[in-house]
Amino acid sequence: MTVKTIYDLIHTVAPFDTQMEGDNSGLLVGSSSQEVSKVLFALDITEPVIDEASAIGAELIVTHHPLMFNAIRSVTDETYEGRLIRRLVRENISFIAAHTNLDQAVGGINDTLAALCGLVEVSGEGFFRSGFLPEPMTVRAFADLLEENLETTVRIMAPENRIIRRIGLCSGGGSDEWHAAAEAGCDAYVSGEIKHHHALAMADAGIAALECGHFATEEPGLAALAEALQNSLNHVECNVRVYVSAVSAYAFSRHP
Amino acid sequence: MTVKTIYDLIHTVAPFDTQMEGDNSGLLVGSSSQEVSKVLFALDITEPVIDEASAIGAELIVTHHPLMFNAIRSVTDETYEGRLIRRLVRENISFIAAHTNLDQAVGGINDTLAALCGLVEVSGEGFFRSGFLPEPMTVRAFADLLEENLETTVRIMAPENRIIRRIGLCSGGGSDEWHAAAEAGCDAYVSGEIKHHHALAMADAGIAALECGHFATEEPGLAALAEALQNSLNHVECNVRVYVSAVSAYAFSRHP
Amino acid sequence: MTVKTIYDLIHTVAPFDTQMEGDNSGLLVGSSSQEVSKVLFALDITEPVIDEASAIGAELIVTHHPLMFNAIRSVTDETYEGRLIRRLVRENISFIAAHTNLDQAVGGINDTLAALCGLVEVSGEGFFRSGFLPEPMTVRAFADLLEENLETTVRIMAPENRIIRRIGLCSGGGSDEWHAAAEAGCDAYVSGEIKHHHALAMADAGIAALECGHFATEEPGLAALAEALQNSLNHVECNVRVYVSAVSAYAFSRHP
Amino acid sequence: MTVKTIYDLIHTVAPFDTQMEGDNSGLLVGSSSQEVSKVLFALDITEPVIDEASAIGAELIVTHHPLMFNAIRSVTDETYEGRLIRRLVRENISFIAAHTNLDQAVGGINDTLAALCGLVEVSGEGFFRSGFLPEPMTVRAFADLLEENLETTVRIMAPENRIIRRIGLCSGGGSDEWHAAAEAGCDAYVSGEIKHHHALAMADAGIAALECGHFATEEPGLAALAEALQNSLNHVECNVRVYVSAVSAYAFSRHP
Amino acid sequence: MTVKTIYDLIHTVAPFDTQMEGDNSGLLVGSSSQEVSKVLFALDITEPVIDEASAIGAELIVTHHPLMFNAIRSVTDETYEGRLIRRLVRENISFIAAHTNLDQAVGGINDTLAALCGLVEVSGEGFFRSGFLPEPMTVRAFADLLEENLETTVRIMAPENRIIRRIGLCSGGGSDEWHAAAEAGCDAYVSGEIKHHHALAMADAGIAALECGHFATEEPGLAALAEALQNSLNHVECNVRVYVSAVSAYAFSRHP
Amino acid sequence: MTVKTIYDLIHTVAPFDTQMEGDNSGLLVGSSSQEVSKVLFALDITEPVIDEASAIGAELIVTHHPLMFNAIRSVTDETYEGRLIRRLVRENISFIAAHTNLDQAVGGINDTLAALCGLVEVSGEGFFRSGFLPEPMTVRAFADLLEENLETTVRIMAPENRIIRRIGLCSGGGSDEWHAAAEAGCDAYVSGEIKHHHALAMADAGIAALECGHFATEEPGLAALAEALQNSLNHVECNVRVYVSAVSAYAFSRHP
């Protein structure tokens, strides 16, 4: 099985041509024709993640965030990205990023986040989802639920005893999408990063903002993609194995 | 004593002409010639803060964040800013913002934050400060200190048991300034908001990132400005009184 | 009856969404829900016009030219617009501008001007109208007619004894629209302001240019709108009264 | 004597390199080496002015306003400028424009206008001049003086009985320069064209606006340049003769 | 027969409205209504070509490359284009350019080039054509054929003994179109100018690049247009005569 | 000896900070700290040149033309540059480009070209050089000399029997620099690529244009740099060996 085949399987779940203008999702390093026996999924491509891929013998890494988001003019040890690209090439590991196409996909990052928020009657499009808590609860109680389900620390930007029911959300740096939450009549809004002036505007609009961290709101969606891929692969009875990175979010690299 | 006199006193501490291009610090609503007996300081201008000013009879509000950061073409009840401006005009309250000029000022927002981090030998310019902890400590221990001194929740983006000594910082949405921390050879970096890709780059560079929240890193600097102003006023034996807002950061407004 | 209701009545005559890109017609100051018993119409919002509104107790002013054509970043006594906005808010007067939507409207500013020019068989779209004089006359005779009907001084940019019949026109600063007059085969062109190089091009094309002043070509259209509104209001048997400003065009303000 | 020599003489009075960015003053049609015995000065280059030059046998026309202000991509009979350029080339007439360099020159268009306004103690730079009337007078009386001296119709945008003394001015389409008049503390402002919103702002600031027409404010300055050139030429005892156009401002062309 | 009639005949072969954005094809100097008895065709408008037109008494020159590709702001003897335009006007010669419309036309410049390359089964659109050599041959043999048919020197950028069959081409400065040749599966690519980095990319892609000179690849197409026009004119039995310039490509002008 | 040391030696000859804005000279692939025993110089980085470097065991390639002139967002086998970069990384070869800094350097590409043209009294700066032939000769004779010295085919764009003496030149795609040749009063101009409209302008100005090919005008300068480097290395008695590529300019790559 080649990198191209796995690229195509991801494409059926999260079509690469749905990525936002300016994004850099796709095959970024390596070769479509490379043979693959093991694939490692991680939120980000970092030195520790490449260490992990090497240790398990993965020929392909799939992450959410791309490299070369800003285009580059050299590939040397002088830059962070240069070092990562050089290691991937030298250790013969291909690299695919599924970024804004996965954010928006059915069953993608935001749908996974909605499930972990315990929402029912989920709707929405693009990067935004909204749904209902099964029962009304306080902001504080909902924050506790998020801390447990997402394994994170929640920053509450609202009165804690406010009762909420309709929840809007957008994973990662999704602060801007609060407008969609306002239009949808939400009581609360969940995102990975929430800018101060958005939090103020939500306070004015009576929407409770809950900031859960970039990694915590996105990593589960990537694990879900890994699982979906493993299932697809099992159906075709090939023996490619899929791994989810066990490296923590901001593990320090070996670099000085 | 007029609004103009107080504007001039703030100017001596944090000259308005040092504000960044595109910022909107200065007298934003009201009249230079208005007589003032009470001044209310707050991080942000919100409905609850205007309620507070009205309750105490303040003729002037001074905040960190401006209104009309994006220029406006109407002043009506249809918009958040329109409602705030209309209340200020109707209730005859002038409004001054001291934003990026106060961030950079000697004794301003970032110097106050450095003091609350417990740093010694503080140096730096512009929006960045660095200094040393009196004794090396773990990231976890430093985070505990910050949670206590800044009354906030800290999000740690690094291995918790790492030993750190040299600390860089920038208040508010100061994520970009981590480059200055890298150049200064810091072990850790403190800011109000830290973007995910900056946190990854810091992990690669061996710098521990600690995100403390926008409000928590800036509000103390505003209280310090209030105190400095009260001291100046006491020297001239006038009877203007200075207040610091007691409204919590994201208090919900009375608006629907 | 609220500001919103009157806004909607104006909208039926001169739909606000037909305004040109970059224009600022609409409700610019105040509140849609404000109760209105008296409305003052004027070409421009100025200090003397606000004086007049206050004197008669109008809760709403409707003008042709907007405020905040260039977006603003403060609302203080330091600026001309800031002073006007502050007075409107303090004296609780809402403010609507009907600018390029009224220029283009059927029965709007330009149709009113065509009628005052004595034209028959009037046609045209957008900002341009053309029609015929009932009888051919000299440029000089037509200028005399305009001076009388528009109560203005006409600047003639053509040989005075030329005979003309087909007239093109565009109110206010409508110099550019002379091209439409050329395409329509007009003998003469009437506007509020005519630029020198346009006048030369018209001379070359054999079109007589007659400059009548900005105020004189537009004010009658606003009075016509006031009358139309009063008629509408009479039909619904409400007791809102409509006034047309009696202040002359460039009355000096009370300001210094 | 060649075109180049006359160009150089004009350059000593109104240096061409002082023209504004984007202007097109200079030798625009013809040849530097052409021999010249007669020069015709006019405000604008038009068909009647070229007729006049041909009639008197002038080899050079000097005007204030340039051709090709917007750069061109053809020289055909389809366009106004194409026709003028073709006639100049065919009839072997060179063409020089002295536009914003002459506006600003010492003794140039604006200084000539100041003299015709009867001002004393004239100062100013760039396009703006200010000075004093020998005695205070009413706006109406000053307008009468202007109508006589400039042979024009004045449009008064102010109360007519206001007393004025300090006068600011800028010839032609100089409406924007009213800010300089405000800074100089002027009571009145004279220009060729005055935009409506500038007139309103002047009314608010207590400055009387007097619009005198583009041609009337500029043509005398060109005649003064012609006279200065004739004097220079007389000194060198050459027999080149200088004419000032007798064609009226907006004479119709022979074109259709 | 007028310039307009001949313009219309060219338009039926190479419609002027198919020219690329930014091109300047059309009637560039002269008059549509001019009577024409002789037309001179040339690749470029130069002093020697105007000499030739004058010598034969042509009232119209038709070329491939336009004048005023960059718009101009003067028509004087100081510039190359100014001198050419002035001569055309003075000698009463109209001037039409048929540039990118002729490149793309059926039977236009590129179709003529394809025929001279000896290609069969020619296809393509826009500026690109491809076809087959009747028999496979070496690069060297094909270059010899081109040197003979196009009367030029060919620069070969490939191994000379390579066997080729499918040929892509674009006349003039058509280096960029090699991508179309790659997509069409061509073995070789012919153009007037080939940039070094394109030649390298073709070498990598296994495409032999043959650079034949700008003039040599385009002049035959213009001669073909002349012939087509003469045929059209013969049909209508008018006595307008068509000439093709005999001046060599880079003949020196009479200018210094 | 490291890549960094060789970079520094090249920098003393052709300082990298003198490169034009937008150029991409410098260390583009690899690592400053890599040990080097053999260096290969070539005009361009291509597959055959990398084959050659591998064959001789060179750890560093130095070329004139950079990679990533347009910044890239992937490093895969899908693109020409991706394949080259991947080979360099996998085969552990560093890559330095010395482009516009070498063009301008004293003793750089253009000075080498001037010497091969046989010029004396050479002067010039930036990308332009001019000098004199020892004896006047015809364009044809000079072209023969160039064909021999540069091992190329020359395209002559001028009358062949014209006598010339003062020669201007700019290597590679230096067509634009002909203006410098005109200012310097040259009789002829030599470059690698000459655009058609520049050739026409030179014909008008009486300058003979001789186009010699991009590779032929630049390759000798790179060989000269290799020699200078070998001399520097010999002085420090290190045993690094310098090679000049023997691969012809447009050798086909192994790529399909």
Token pair for B84: 């705030």
D21 has a chain E CB within 8 A of its CB: no
Q: What is the pLDDT of residue F82?
A: 98
B162 has a chain A CB within 8 A of its CB: yes
C80 has a chain D CB within 8 A of its CB: yes
3-state secondary structure F43-100: CCCCHHHHHHHHHHCCCEEEECCCCCCCCECCEECCCHHHHHHHHHHHCCCEEEECCH
d(CA F92, CA F97): 17
Q: What is the pLDDT of residue C252?
A: 86
Q: What residues of chain F lie within 8 A of the CB of A89, using their CB?
A: 75, 85-86, 89-90
Instruction: Note whether C252 contacts D173, CB cutoff 8 Å.
Output: no
Q: What is the pLDDT of residue E157?
A: 96
F86 has a chain E CB within 8 A of its CB: no
d(CA B95, CA B77): 19
The minimum CA-CA distance between F37 and chain A, rounded to whole Å, is: 19
Q: What residues of chain F lie within 8 A of the CB of E209, using their CB?
A: 250
Residues 6+ apart with CB under 8 A from C124: C110, C130, C168, C180, C184
pLDDT (tens digit per residue) in D89-121: 999 999 999 999 999 999 999 999 999 999 999
Average pLDDT of the residues of chain C = 96
Q: What is the pLDDT of residue E249?
A: 87
Instruction: Note whether C75 contacts B73, CB cutoff 8 Å.
Output: no
pLDDT for residue D252 is more than 90: no
Q: What residue in B sits closest to A249 (Cα-Cα)?
A: B157
pLDDT (tens digit per residue) in E52-100: 999 999 999 999 999 999 999 999 999 999 999 999 999 999 999 999 9
pLDDT for residue A253 is more than 80: no
Q: What is the pLDDT of residue D124?
A: 95
What are the CA-CA distances from residue C94 to residues B87, C52, C100 (Å)?
A: 14, 14, 20
d(CA E223, CA A217): 69
The minimum CA-CA distance between A70 and chain F, rounded to whole Å, is: 7
What are the CA-CA distances from residue E35 to residues D82, D115, D254, E5, E31 (Å)?
A: 19, 54, 22, 10, 9
Across residues E182-193, what is the average pLDDT?
97
Across residues A8-16, what is the average pLDDT?
97
Within chain C, which residues score under 50 in pLDDT? none
Instruction: Note whether A199 contacts B250, CB cutoff 8 Å.
Output: yes
Instruction: Note whether F74 contacts A29, CB cutoff 8 Å.
Output: yes
Residues 6+ apart with CB under 8 A from B161: B138, B139, B140
Q: What is the pLDDT of residue B255?
A: 53
What share of chain A in percent tops pLDDT 90? 94
pLDDT classification of A201: cutoffs 50, 70, 90: very high
Q: What is the pLDDT of residue F96?
A: 98
Element (H, E) at D244: strand D241-244
Q: What is the pLDDT of residue F17?
A: 98
pLDDT (tens digit per residue) in A48-83: 999 999 999 999 999 999 999 999 999 999 999 999
Q: Are B49 and B256 in contact (CB under 8 A)?
A: no
DSSP annotation of D142 reads: H
Q: Do chains E and B touch (3 or more CB pairs under 8 A)?
A: no
Q: What is the pLDDT of residue E255?
A: 53
DSSP annotation of C72 reads: B
What are the CA-CA distances from residue F151 to residues B175, E156, F148 (Å)?
A: 58, 13, 5
pLDDT classification of F254: cutoffs 50, 70, 90: low
Task: Give me the interface pTM, i.e. the ipTM.
Answer: 0.95
pLDDT (tens digit per residue) in F167-218: 999 999 999 999 999 999 999 999 999 999 999 999 999 999 999 999 999 9
Q: What is the pLDDT of residue F131?
A: 98
E182 has a chain F CB within 8 A of its CB: no
pLDDT classification of D210: cutoffs 50, 70, 90: very high
d(CA D125, CA A80): 56
C20-57: string of b/e by CB count within 10 Å (b at 16+)? Answer: eeebbbbbbbbbbebebeebbbbbbbbbbbbbbbeeee
Least confident of A95-99, A232-236, F194-198: A232-236
Q: What residues of chain F lie within 8 A of the CB of E206, using their CB?
A: 252-253, 255-256
Q: Is the dihedral of CA C217, C220, C221, C222 positive or negative?
A: positive
Q: What is the pLDDT of residue F255?
A: 54
**D131 bridge partner residues:** D167
Q: 104-123 in B: which are within 8 Å (CB) of A? A: none
DSSP codes, D15-35: -GGGSPTT---EEEEE-TT-B
What are the CA-CA distances from residue A84 to residues A94, A230, F75 (Å)?
A: 12, 26, 12
d(CA C9, CA A77): 69
Across residues A101-130, what is the average pLDDT?
97
Sheet arrangement for strand F188-191: F120-123, F129-138, F163-170, F188-191, F208-211, F155-157
pLDDT (tens digit per residue) in F107-154: 999 999 999 999 999 999 999 999 999 999 999 999 999 999 999 999
**F188 bridge partner residues:** F167, F208
DSSP codes, C196-223: HHHHHHHHHHT-EEEE--HHHHHHHHHH
Across residues D24-43, what is the average pLDDT?
98
Q: Which residue, among E207, A15, E211, C35, has the nearest Cα to F193 in the 3D structure?
A: E211
Tokens 């490149």 belong to: E103
Least confident of A230-244, B44-58, B79-93, E71-85: A230-244
Q: Which residue has the higher pLDDT, B251 or A8?
A: A8
d(CA C102, CA F86): 65
β-pairing, E129-138 vs E120-123, is antiparallel
Q: What residues of chain D lie within 8 A of the CB of E92, using their CB?
A: 90
Instruction: Note whether A28 contacts F86, CB cutoff 8 Å.
Output: no
Q: Of F197, F204, F250, which is closest to E47 when you measure between CB atoms?
A: F204
Mutate to test the interface with A, among F65, F78, F81, F89 (most CBs of A within 10 A): F89
Tokens 């007049």 belong to: C52
F252 has a chain E CB within 8 A of its CB: yes
